[in-house]
Amino acid sequence: MTQPLPLILDVDTGIDDAMALLYAAASPDAELVAVTCVAGNVPGEQVAANTLAVLELAGRGDVEVALGRESPLLRPLKTAEDTHGPRGIGYAVLPAARARVSARSGVDLIAEEARRRPGELTLVTLGPLTNLAAALQVEPRLPRLLRRVYVMGGAFRVQGNTTPAAEWNMQVDPEAAWMIYRAWATALAADPTIPRPVVLGLDVTERSPIRPDHVIRLARLARLAGGRLDDSIARADGNEPFLPAVPVAGNPMVRFVADALRFYFEFHAKWDGFYGAHIHDPMVVAAALDPALARTQAVFVDVETGSGPAGAMTVADFRGLTGKPPNVEVATELDGAEFLDRWVTRVGALALALYPPDAG
């Protein structure tokens, strides 16, 4: 049997980060070594509180959670409560976790664990790249020490979701992204065998939105095991808004998913014209665990750090016009249907295992 892949997740827990944490906790092919937190969707302390609470809900309160940078490298912090809710987890409410934030900083944790397990760890960044950029300053050998880096961020052949040019994670801290891609370019020039970071941008993460019917499938798993379910959570076509007062299932994890995603669905209905959501972050975790899910192209990527209309744009040289060697693997395709099926199946199985129905 293949050994689980050792992962460090770097998050700014928001709604889709929470779905990624659940997926990692539910995946037998993942060894969740630690989670580092960076300010982004919400301020850093709230990110850490959300992360601890979601991990406890998922039965992984044992995982070390470390708070890293609470502001971008050079810019004031921008947050996205309009997208993720005032606490970052939509309409969901979770009790405070029993575990506490690590005494280590998230930046030091990345550097120290990479030194401790050279060539073993895959780092998956799901928020602004501030922690990784700061960790590179602590340990410049990270491109050689990490097994691989997976990044959620950027928009390459599509428009951004924050400005016409920029994706959210890039826009929060473009200097951090610039630093990382330059660092890998330098490391690859010295040693071409170093694995390039794999970057999943909006080109692939916005192609396969999650819909109410996926949440209903998750809830029905609870019913099959004896849990309570009210199918009036959505209309028969699966596309109408959730009814907020109706309990989805007598399962805390299913309840959390439904309450968090309902906020996300309403946001996308307002701004993107469909009742569903782009859950970017768990797609990246899934691709890290199973690279066959995504097809990539090796290209040179740079990031615009200016303040004009192209600010924070990820510039990919798909035609090789610059003559610079590739420093990034950009995802061009992703099997979204397979990912969504795995997400529902794995998270549903974990929900049933952790919260079996009452005998009554």
Q: Which residues are catalytically annotated?
A: 280
Do 42 and 87 form a contact (C-beta atoms < 8 A)? yes
Token pair 């930046």 is found at 107
Bridge-partner residues for 5, per DSSP?
A: 30
Question: How far apart, in Å, are the Cα atoms of 108 and each of 11, 93, 135, 241?
Answer: 15, 31, 7, 43
Do 72 and 172 form a contact (C-beta atoms < 8 A)? yes
Taking the C-alpha atoms of residue 29 and residue 78, their distance in angstroms, rounded to an integer, is 34
Question: Is the four-CA dihedral 46, 49, 51, 57 of positive or negative sign?
Answer: negative
Q: What is the dihedral of CA 267, 271, 277, 279, to 10 degrees?
A: -100
Question: Is the four-CA dihedral 101, 90, 7, 169 of positive or negative sign?
Answer: negative
